[in-house]
């Protein structure tokens, strides 16, 4: 049975905003963020994206996926791709994001996200899903797939998300094998509350700059605003599309 829709109102506003940072940066935090942005932009090696890479990304699109604030859908991207000049245009679009050469005012138009709140199983707590703009997700996804091998290497072997097909099944298999090899050991599961919403942008920039400098310029283009689908205020969403 589906859970009831989350009603708009002050209570919902408070629950959604509690998952994001809403207070402005302190002077010290603003300075640290500017330092992190400057370091991320210094990289000289940039991701190059061609028409074939754009076409591969279009082939992976889920056309029925929900849109971001503008209402622009993946199906619109597929229509653009069908034009003779479409693959090249989409590749150029992804390139300006990957290389951080997109104009700031244009980046701001496409880096908003739509917050869709859903009730958790207990019917009280709320889980917020950020729906980013389709054109932004396309650019980010295309850029990431250009360096997926390097990204998986940077992440290490002990993870089952990046560059791992069927990651959930692989993780379950490894846990079962470990339990069989060491039956006298206990298994512990950790779940970090609001993990992505708790990430400070400066920390994300520093980690990516150190481990995956080719991707760092892409992160410098992202904005921080989100609109709520149920009529809530505009929280600061530091958890980006990645």
- Mean pLDDT of residues grouped by 10 in the chain (242 residues)? 74 81 81 86 79 96 88 95 97 93 88 84 81 92 88 76 75 89 87 73 86 86 52 39 40
Q: Cβ(216)–Cβ(209) under 8 Å?
A: yes
Q: Which helix (H) or strand (E) holds 144?
A: helix 134-146
Cα separation, 33 vs 200, whole angstroms:
9
Which residues lie below 8 Å from residue 97, measured CB to CB, with a gap of 6+? 107, 136, 139, 140, 143, 218, 221
pLDDT at 43: 66
pLDDT at 181: 92
For the chain, the domains span: 10-156+195-228
Partners of 131 in beta bridges: 114
**What φ, ψ does residue 130 adopt, rounded to 5°?**
-90, 120
pLDDT at 209: 87
Determine whether 142 is exposed, middle or buried from the number of CB atoms within 10 Å of its CB (0-12, 13-18, 19+). buried
pLDDT at 234: 40
133: left (phi over 0), alpha (psi -120 to 50) or beta: beta
Q: Cβ(134)–Cβ(68) under 8 Å?
A: yes
pLDDT at 92: 96
Cα separation, 221 vs 12, whole angstroms:
30
Q: Which helix (H) or strand (E) holds 228?
A: strand 226-228
């Amino acid at each position: 049975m589906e859970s009831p829709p989350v009603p708009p109102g002050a209570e919902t506003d408070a629950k959604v905003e509690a998952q994001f940072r809403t207070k402005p940066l302190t002077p010290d935090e603003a300075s640290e963020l500017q330092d992190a942005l400057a370091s991320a932009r210094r990289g000289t090696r940039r991701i190059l994206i061609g028409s074939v890479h754009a076409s591969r990304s279009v082939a992976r699109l889920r056309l029925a996926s929900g849109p971001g604030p503008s209402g622009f859908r993946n199906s619109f991207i597929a229509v653009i791709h069908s034009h003779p000049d479409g693959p090249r245009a989409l590749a150029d679009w992804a390139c300006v994001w990957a290389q951080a050469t997109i104009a700031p005012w244009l980046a701001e138009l496409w880096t908003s996200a739509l917050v869709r709140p859903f009730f958790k199983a207990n019917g009280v707590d709320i889980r917020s899903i950020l729906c980013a703009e389709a054109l932004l997700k396309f650019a980010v996804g295309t850029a990431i797939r250009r360096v997926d091998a390097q990204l998986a290497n940077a992440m290490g072997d002990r993870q089952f998300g990046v560059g791992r097909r069927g990651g959930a099944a692989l993780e379950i298999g490894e846990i079962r094998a470990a339990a069989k090899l060491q039956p006298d050991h206990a298994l512990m599961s950790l779940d970090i509350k609001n993990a992505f919403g708790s990430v400070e942008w400066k920390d994300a920039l520093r980690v990516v700059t150190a481990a995956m400098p080719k991707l760092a310029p892409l992160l410098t283009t992202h904005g921080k605003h989100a609109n709520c689908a149920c009529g809530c205020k505009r929280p600061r969403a530091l958890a980006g599309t990645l």
